[in-house]
Amino acid sequence: MSIVERDKTIRQEIIELLKLRPVTPLEISGLLGVSEKEVSEHLNHAIASASRKYKVEITPAACKACGFIFKERKKTKRPSRCPMCKEERIEDASYFINTKPGKK
């Protein structure tokens, strides 16, 4: 748990970050000073809230060894290993909220 004083909730801060540029859960964790596990829990809710008003763009996680794309994955937590080659070097998914009008 973070001891940082906040004027917004963690979910509101995540939404604001996602509006700026594509970010991974690891980047969000570092920027907000909370654990990756906590980010994953809040990110699901932040995406659901934001998708009511904006288009949420998700670049799925991918295996760095064989290139397998986790396009069917709904969880925001990082996959532990590739189902194809069993490699553990996985590139995180990234999330972005497109706030441009007419993009819903």
- Alpha-carbon distance of 97 to 64, in angstroms, equals 25
Residue 3's pLDDT band, with cuts at 50, 70 and 90, is very low
> In this model, does residue 1 exceed pLDDT 50?
no
> Which pLDDT score, from 0 to 100, does residue 101 have?
64
Residue 94: HSE in the Cβ half-sphere, 13 Å Cα cutoff: 11
Strands (E), the chain: 55-59, 62-63, 90-91, 94-98
Q: pTM for the full model?
A: 0.83
- Alpha-carbon distance of 65 to 75, in angstroms, equals 21
Give tens-digit pLDDT for 41-75.
999 999 999 999 999 999 999 999 999 999 999 88
> Which pLDDT score, from 0 to 100, does residue 6 have?
64
Q: Which domains does the chain have, with CATH numbers?
A: 10-98 (1.10.10)
Provide the token pair at 28: 């969000």
